[in-house]
Amino acid sequence: MSTVVEQIEQQIAKLSSKVVKKNTGTIRAVADGVAKLDGLSDVMYNEMVQFPGGAIGIALNLEADEVGCVVLGDVSTLKEGDEVQTTGKLLSVPVGKALLGRVVDALGRPVDGKGPIDSKEFYPVEKIAPGIMVRKSVNQPLFTGIMAIDSMIPIGRGQRELIIGDRGTGKTTICIDTIINQARINKVGLASGDKNFRPVYSIYVAVGQKQSNVVRTINALEAAGALEYTVLVAAPAADNPANQYLAPFSGAAIGEWFMENGMDALIVYDDLSKHAVAYRQISLILKRPSGREAYPGDVFYLHSRLLERAARLDGKGSLTALPVIETQAGDVSAYIPTNVISITDGQIFLETDLFNQGIRPAVSVGLSVSRVGSSAQIKVTKQVGGKLKGELAQFRELAAFAQFGSDLDPKTKAQLDRGARIVELFKQPQLNPLSIEMQASVLWALQKTYFDSIEVKSIVTAANSWKDYLTSRKDALLTKIRTEAKLTDEIEAGLKAAADEWKGTFSK
Amino acid sequence: MRADKKTKALAKQLFKLSVVNGAVSPEQVAGVLAYVEKVAPRNSLALLKLYQHAIVAELAKSHARVEHAGPLGANTLQLIAAAMTKKYSRPVTATAQANPKLLAGLRVRIGSDVYESTVSGQLATLSNAV
């Protein structure tokens, strides 16, 4: 009996006298959210370090005699001489479906007051992007719900499409519309019971934005019923630069979980200009050498390693990235815009002039491109909108010339008239994405000259009337277009009959 | 006064000269100090501070500070020094320092490494886990 008890006691003694090895250092200086540390001889690059009081830091500068570390949290309680210790862990964030419908900070902690997040898995914030062999080409569409984009600059699942433009040109609106459209498609798809349906979950990363703008975005998503399919990562302007620098990487980690687990996800980085500014701030405080526009030399690598994580994986899911860049006075040749343009698979350029003329979304057809092209379009869109980009480009060119002359030949006049109608048709109110079947129906009517006899100023009214007519009376036809995804003779006959009937009612 | 690049490089060079066979040599350090006094390079104060910082960090690598709560025999101290000498492959000395805040157990600090087997440490781990 006593031997058994002794054995247990020995076991307890072994456990209780377990030696823990820690690697420690001391704070040499703290300023502007960055701490310089002595010691920490075993620290790894990007490793989390523990400060007294629970604050966490990330080791970003490993030098011969000191470690530069950004502090994520309250630095006011830290002082020179405080002990810091390594954790042996890379910075990780909680991932999984439990985050859907939640607003989190750059470390994945909830900030929406809805209680703790029940997440069992963690993904590292920094991760090497998938290699070539595991990738698959992008050929599945991701519908934005914006007719001008889906028909002319299609985006595919796994693509990286830049949204670029000046302040107040509708960049965020396009992103929010896309997220709302994914939610609508998800609802319809999941309700249909189709086993092959793949929902798209969205992650919206707000970097350096005003808190009021973040709240407006949350409210817009909630009102549209899209919040339940969305994760918001918020690093507003009031957050320290370290959080703003980390937020896109945290968002990417959250998105990667969906991709790795056979699901599709969309991530919006709004915006990477402010992200670059936050990184510049950190780099300057860390005394890293500065280069063009005072950005550090690795600012290209900062964005390329982030955007390379968007991919479509063979046998798994996909992560589509919509980075946003704000230009100054339409200058796309500045440092950060050119960097991100060269990294992404295309860009949607929004023009201030178009926006002010009332053409919204103010997509500049000439400067916008999707390098994935029509391989990310379904057949019905190709059938009805294949020539639109060319026609619109021709219209812009002719319109510029038409300003000088008064007499125009009938062919030129017809092209101008048609162009003006296309421009009107592409006008779309915000937070109102259109389903792909509705887009196809409208473009089909345009292709079949149903709008040619209508005054240009009445085109928007006519298009709305056509949409209302289809929604209220031809729901079965719309469902058929959605499920078949191409214009069959039967569908075309149905559309023709519907359009003839509608035309009669609209003319009256 | 902030040290410039040249001062940093000189401090590094002087530090390298002071280390012989992986240990700080008192004779070499005396020689370095005599040199600095004689030549009086630019930014002498900053130079000496950097030099001191490097020497202190190097000395800490060869010295184990053993904090303990309760009695600690000379034999245990010798055993710790021997174990550390073996682990770090360099001669390590050990000194004892009583610290009642540990409640019970030992904490050995050598360079930036800390080996802890104390009740206070375990309580702190427990409180962090809760």
DSSP-assigned states of every residue in A332-362 = TTSHHHHHHHHHSSEEEEE-HHHHHTT-SS-
Contact B112 A40 (CB under 8 A): yes
Residues of chain B found within 8 Å of residue A21, distances taken between Cβ atoms: 113-116
A466 pLDDT above the threshold of 60: yes
Contact A20 B116 (CB under 8 A): yes
Q: Are residues B95 and B81 in the same domain?
A: yes
Residues of chain B found within 8 Å of residue A36, distances taken between Cβ atoms: none
Q: Which residues sit opposite A14 in a β-bridge? A: none
* pLDDT recorded at residue A398: 87
A75 pLDDT above the threshold of 80: yes
Contact A38 B105 (CB under 8 A): no
* CA nearest to A50 within chain B: B128
Cβ of residue B122 closer than 8 Å to a chain A Cβ: yes
Q: Are residues B52 and B92 in the same domain?
A: no
Residue B120 belongs to a domain with what CATH number? 3.40.30
Handedness of CA B43, B45, B48, B53 (dihedral sign): negative
Sort A128 into a burial class: Cβ within 10 Å, 0-12 / 13-18 / 19+: exposed
For the entire predicted model, the pTM comes to: 0.89
Q: Are residues B47 and B79 in the same domain?
A: no
pLDDT-derived band at A74 (thresholds 50, 70, 90) equals confident
> Coil, strand, or helix at residue A364?
coil
Contact B57 A25 (CB under 8 A): no
Residues of chain A found within 8 Å of residue B7, distances taken between Cβ atoms: none
Contact B113 A25 (CB under 8 A): no
Residues of chain B found within 8 Å of residue A28, distances taken between Cβ atoms: none
- pLDDT tens across A174-212, in order? 999 999 999 999 999 999 989 999 999 999 999 999 999
Percentage of the residues of chain A whose pLDDT score is greater than 70: 97
Q: Are residues B68 and B121 in the same domain?
A: yes
Percentage of the residues of chain B whose pLDDT score is greater than 90: 62
* CA nearest to A54 within chain B: B128
Q: Which residues sit opposite A388 in a β-bridge? A: none
A508 pLDDT above the threshold of 60: no
Residues of chain A found within 8 Å of residue B51, distances taken between Cβ atoms: none
Q: Are residues B77 and B124 in the same domain?
A: yes
Contact B111 A25 (CB under 8 A): no
pLDDT-derived band at A400 (thresholds 50, 70, 90) equals confident
Contact A22 B114 (CB under 8 A): yes
* CA nearest to B54 within chain A: A65
Best A14, A15, A18, A24 member to test B by mutation, with max B CBs in 10 Å, is A24
Residues of chain B found within 8 Å of residue A24, distances taken between Cβ atoms: 109, 112-114
Range of B94's domain? 63-129
Q: Are residues B49 and B79 in the same domain?
A: no
Choose the closest CB to A18 out of B12, B57, B117: B117
Structure tokens at A100: 């859907």
* CA nearest to B9 within chain A: A64
Best A16, A17, A22, A49 member to test B by mutation, with max B CBs in 10 Å, is A22
* CA nearest to A21 within chain B: B115
Q: Are residues B50 and B31 in the same domain?
A: yes
Q: Are residues B56 and B67 in the same domain?
A: no
How many structural domains compose chain B? 2
* CA nearest to B55 within chain A: A65
Q: Are residues B13 and B55 in the same domain?
A: yes
Rounded to a whole number, what is the distance in Å from the CA of A476 to chain B's nearest CA?
58
Q: Are residues B22 and B51 in the same domain?
A: yes
In whole angstroms, give the CA distance from residue B79 to residue B69. 18
Choose the closest CB to B113 out of A18, A21, A65: A21
Q: Are residues B93 and B123 in the same domain?
A: yes
- Among A227-241, A392-406, B48-62, the minimum mean pLDDT is found in A392-406
Contact B122 A16 (CB under 8 A): yes
Rounded to a whole number, what is the distance in Å from the CA of A17 to chain B's nearest CA?
6
Range among A94-98, A363-367, B126-130 rated most confident: A94-98
Contact B113 A42 (CB under 8 A): yes
ipTM here: 0.83
Contacts of A494 (CB under 8 A, 6+ apart): A474, A477, A480
* pLDDT recorded at residue A64: 83
A459 in Cβ contact with A421 (< 8 Å): yes
- When pLDDT is averaged across residues A158-170 and rounded to a whole number, the result is 96
Rounded to a whole number, what is the distance in Å from the CA of B116 to chain A's nearest CA?
5
Domain boundary among B29, B60, B91: B60
The dihedral formed by the CA atoms of A3, A9, A10 and A11, expressed in degrees to the nearest 10: 110
* pLDDT recorded at residue A286: 92
Rounded to a whole number, what is the distance in Å from the CA of B95 to chain A's nearest CA?
19
Choose the closest CB to B115 out of A21, A25, A38: A21
Could you give the residue numbers annotated as active site of A?
371
- When pLDDT is averaged across residues B22-38 and rounded to a whole number, the result is 92
pLDDT-derived band at B122 (thresholds 50, 70, 90) equals confident
Contacts of A146 (CB under 8 A, 6+ apart): A174, A177, A178, A361, A363, A428, A433, A434
* CA nearest to B105 within chain A: A17
Rounded to a whole number, what is the distance in Å from the CA of B38 to chain A's nearest CA?
27
Rg value, chain B, Cα:
19
Report chain A residues touching chain B, CB-CB < 8 A. Answer: 16-25, 38-42, 64-65, 85
Which residue's structure tokens are 């190709």? A382
Best A12, A15, A19 member to test B by mutation, with max B CBs in 10 Å, is A19
Distances (CA, A) of A498 to A384, A455, A494, A502: 17, 21, 6, 6
A68 in Cβ contact with A28 (< 8 Å): no
A410 pLDDT above the threshold of 90: no
Contact B122 A40 (CB under 8 A): no
- When pLDDT is averaged across residues A87-105 and rounded to a whole number, the result is 95
A64 in Cβ contact with A219 (< 8 Å): no
Q: Are residues B25 and B71 in the same domain?
A: no
In the A/B pair of chains, how many CB contacts fall below 8 A? 44
Residue A13: enclosing H or E segment and its boundaries?
helix A2-16
Restricting to B residues 49-108, those with a Cβ less than 8 Å away from any Cβ of A are 53-54, 57, 105
- When pLDDT is averaged across residues B99-109 and rounded to a whole number, the result is 91
